Amino acid sequence: MTNILKKLAGVPEQIQLNEQRVNDSLKDFERVVHTLSSCVNEAHLEVADNYFQVFKNKWKNISEDIMDYNYLIFCKERERLLTNLMEKRSVEFLLA
């Protein structure tokens, strides 16, 4: 909804601000996940972990449910990447 329609509908400004904060946090989280997904070794994973910590500190006032969900997504993606890296390393070791 546009801002004009929200004002006409009587949506309080605080709700609009909260929606904007959530949208901004989602954009930041997408950047964190993109960084994580781009990892090619354990050092890159450490950078992504640090990036996620910065994200958590920046958005510590956002809903706890949203943060828990973001943490779950981050951990699952990290685990998937770590498994892939270990499998790749095993294959390289066998080929050596």
Mapping DSSP onto H, E and C, the string for 36-59 reads HHCCCCHHHHHHHHHHHHHHHHHC
> In terms of residue numbers, what domain contains 69?
12-95
Domain for residue 3, yes or no?
Answer: no
Query: Minimal CA–CA distance to 70: which of 84, 54, 51, 56?
Result: 56
Element (H, E) at 96: none
Q: Which pLDDT tens digits describe the chain residue by residue (96 residues)? A: 566 655 656 667 777 788 889 899 999 999 999 999 998 888 899 999 999 999 999 999 999 999 999 999 999 999 999 999 888 776 666 666
Number of domains making up the chain: 1
Domain for residue 7, yes or no?
Answer: no
